């Protein structure tokens, strides 16, 4: 069985056929789903879905793109919920920085502040982190290490094949591998994947985004984790069942689910 450790089931693109999406996934061998807390405005929907289905869990957090909403989010309202398994998706994203050089520096500063605040919340509530990093590997790594995030660990969601971050495997961090692994231009990830300790690998979709081949251009959904598992099996030269078993065991260990 496979656990999709990062799937935005609260996204409006699943609103009309959520039951069917989950049924297809279960029939295909996916038996666990974690909704990251990216946008506080959709968080109530994530909780609602987690309460509807035994095998769905959620996290509470604020994505860098939504950091203006951070101060208004009452973490305590959600973090004690029995289905809340992590803090995040939080982190750093410098890809869309706009404005003057001074404005970009101020935005980076605020992103770092919000990220550190969520690292501290994870330590306070003893929850692992779901971490988003884009074009900010050095700063993110430095903040994780400087703020002792290894106390709770977490997952580097949608791991971008950056050598800078590989050292975090020794500090309690896991690596979320998604549909990018199946892309034709994923040469760097294909090279780095064997360097990641197998006990630190997780499988995810990031649906409805980053749909794997052969379904590029379509809405992503949890069933498509099977394509990620197939490619991981090929690259690591491991039997498919072994890949499914070890990544599911890793998800259980990190998020304390299914025990």
Q: Over the stretch 95-112, which tens digit does the pLDDT of each residue have?
A: 888 888 988 899 999 999
List C-alpha distances in Å: 13 to 8, 10, 219. Answer: 9, 8, 8
User: How confident is the model over 118-162, as pLDDT tens digits?
Assistant: 999 999 999 999 999 999 999 999 999 999 999 999 999 999 878
* Residue 206, both tokens: 């990031």
For the chain, domain boundaries: 2-255
**pTM for this model (two decimals):** 0.96
Range list of H helices, 4-136: 18-27, 43-52, 75-79, 101-125
* Residue 129, both tokens: 């982190």
Q: Quick one: the chain helix, strand, coil %, rounded to 5?
A: 50, 15, 30
Fold of 2-255: TIM Barrel (3.20.20)
CA pair distance 6, 208, nearest whole angstrom = 10
CA pair distance 41, 95, nearest whole angstrom = 23
């Amino acid at each position: 069985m496979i656990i999709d450790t990062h799937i935005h089931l609260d996204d409006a693109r699943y609103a009309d056929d959520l039951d069917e999406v989950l049924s297809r996934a279960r029939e295909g061998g996916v038996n666990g789903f974690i909704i990251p807390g990216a946008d506080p405005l959709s968080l109530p929907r994530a909780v609602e879905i987690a309460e509807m289905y035994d095998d769905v869990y959620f996290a509470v957090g604020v994505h860098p793109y939504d950091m203006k909403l951070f101060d208004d989010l009452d973490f305590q309202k959600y973090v004690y919920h029995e289905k809340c398994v992590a803090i995040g998706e939080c982190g750093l994203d410098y890809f869309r920085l706009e404005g003057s050089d001074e404005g970009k520096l101020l935005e980076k500063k605020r992103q770092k502040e919000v990220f550190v605040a969520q690292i501290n919340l994870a330590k306070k509530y003893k929850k692992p982190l779901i971490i988003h990093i884009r074009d900010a590997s050095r700063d993110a790594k430095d903040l994780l290490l400087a703020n002792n995030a290894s106390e709770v660990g977490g997952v580097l969601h949608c791991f971008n094949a950056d050598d800078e971050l590989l050292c975090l495997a020794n500090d309690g961090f896991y690596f979320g591998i998604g549909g990018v692994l199946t892309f034709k231009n994923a040469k760097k990830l294909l090279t780095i994947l064997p360097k990641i300790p197998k006990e630190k690998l997780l499988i995810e979709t990031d649906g409805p985004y980053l749909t794997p081949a052969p379904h590029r251009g379509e809405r992503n959904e949890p069933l498509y984790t099977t394509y990620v598992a197939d490619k991981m099996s090929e690259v690591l030269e491991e039997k498919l069942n072994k890949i499914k078993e070890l990544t599911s065991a890793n998800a259980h260990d990190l998020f304390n689910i299914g025990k």
